[in-house]
Amino acid sequence: MTTGGTRKRLRALAAEFGKFGTVGVLAYAVDVGLFNVGMLALHWPDLAAKCLSTAIAATLAFAGNRFWTWRHRARSGLHREYALYFLFNAIGLGIALGCLGVNRLLAGEWPGVFGGPLAANIAANVVGVGLGTLFRFHAYRRWVFRDL
């Protein structure tokens, strides 16, 4: 049986996660769209396309999270928040790039399954972004937009 205080904290956490998810969906659309434009239309290497698409999407997500998701939390300095936000985004990008790297290794063994743009998209934008999102929500909530 939960207490009223526990229920209140869970509702607040769910509301934050919902807003974080909404911002994330918009940033995800930008990320995936730019990744595919870079890789397919501009013929950039997949790793370069992912780095650029993530940097642009992260900038959009920072604004959404600072000014909507966690607007109720005390501000600890825009420079500090921005720097930490991008540090944790770099780690999230590393998670996505790691998934893309595993896909490339597997493509060498099974090119019919793991080769091509679809497999790269699944590795980077489904598995990598999914794992990175879980990491980022925790990191942003705990260290970037702290409850002072």
Position 113 pLDDT exceeds 70? no
CA 8 to chain centre: 27
Q: How many domains, the chain? A: 1
Cα(58)–Cα(14) distance, rounded to whole angstroms?
A: 22
How confident is the model at residue 27, as a pLDDT?
92
Say what the pLDDT of residue 45 is: 92
Whole-angstrom CA distances from 94 to 50, 80, 122, 139, 148 are 10, 21, 16, 15, 29
Q: What pLDDT is recorded for position 26?
A: 96
| Closest by CA position to 121, among listed 6, 39, 18, 3 | 39
Mean pLDDT taken over the chain:
87
C-beta of residue 75 within 8 angstroms of C-beta of residue 81: yes
The answer for residues whose C-beta is within 8 angstroms of residue 31's C-beta and 6 or more apart is 53, 54, 56, 57, 125, 129
Residues near 146 by beta carbon (within 8 Å), at least 6 away in sequence:
73, 74, 76
If one compares 121 and 30, the residue with the highest pLDDT of the two is: 30
| Strand ranges in the chain using DSSP code E only, listed in sequence order | none
pLDDT tier for residue 104 given thresholds of 50, 70 and 90:
confident
Q: Does residue 1 have a pLDDT over 70? A: no
Confidence of residue 120 (pLDDT cuts 50, 70, 90): confident
Per-residue pLDDT reduced to its tens digit, 60-103 = 999 999 999 988 887 788 889 989 998 998 899 899 999 999 88
DSSP 53: H
Residues 6 or more apart in contact with residue 41 via CB below 8 angstroms: none
What letter would DSSP give residue 101?
Answer: H
Domain span at 56: 4-144
For the entire predicted model, the pTM comes to 0.69
CA atoms of 142 and 139, how far apart (whole Å): 5
